[in-house]
């Protein structure tokens, strides 16, 4: 079975590579805007499925689409019911980090696993609670100056410089990086058993 990662995220690819998966990368191009009134869980669930289906359509145009599994994900940070995506500017990153400082937030990842040729899809949402230590204004400014916050949901990377501000996590560490590994592995085993 061919494994396709429908994401250009280097963090998701690193998680899979380090876990010993053999996979190809075929990023999906979808509008990641949150719809009015949409909850964070509904948003990540919808976007993960849209990404998986978009990549599956690209695969269907090739003769290589039979017996493939497409994995897609979408991750957001939620604090007090507010969705924090990727910061658009230093001011945006500063506001996000101040919101997270000294508080607990939730990281939600929608995970879609679509098996071809029948286009059967399984979509789940994984949640991890993350507690930040208090950050000083100087720490926030130094972290922003590092450039790290700008392509990360919630303006931080737990596996890099942002990790030093994380006091506690409850749930899957890899989910905070953008791909709940154990949950993915469990679903892939189910898909393989079904295909046997």
Residues annotated catalytic, as ranges: 74
CA distance 127 to 3: 24
Chain-centroid distance, C-alpha 116? 22
CB atoms < 10 A from the CB of 68, how many? 21
């Amino acid at each position: 079975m061919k494994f396709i990662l429908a994401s250009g995220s280097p963090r998701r690819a690193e998680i899979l590579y380090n876990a010993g998966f053999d996979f190809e990368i075929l990023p999906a191009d979808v509008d990641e805007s949150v719809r009015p009134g949409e909850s964070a869980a509904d948003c990540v669930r919808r976007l993960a499925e849209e990404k998986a289906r978009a990549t599956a359509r690209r695969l269907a145009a090739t003769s290589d689409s039979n017996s493939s599994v497409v994995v897609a994900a979408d991750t957001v940070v939620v604090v007090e019911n507010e969705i924090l995506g990727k910061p658009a500017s230093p001011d945006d990153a500063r506001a996000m980090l101040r919101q997270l400082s000294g508080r607990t937030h939730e990281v939600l990842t929608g995970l879609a696993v679509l098996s071809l040729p029948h286009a059967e899809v399984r979509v789940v949402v994984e949640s991890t609670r993350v507690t930040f230590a208090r950050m000083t204004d100087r720490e926030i400014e130094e972290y922003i100056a590092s450039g790290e916050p700008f392509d990360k949901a919630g303006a931080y990377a737990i596996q890099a410089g942002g990790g030093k501000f994380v006091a506690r996590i409850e749930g899957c560490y890899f989910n905070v990086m953008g791909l709940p590994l154990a949950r993915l592995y469990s679903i892939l085993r189910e898909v393989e058993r079904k295909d046997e």
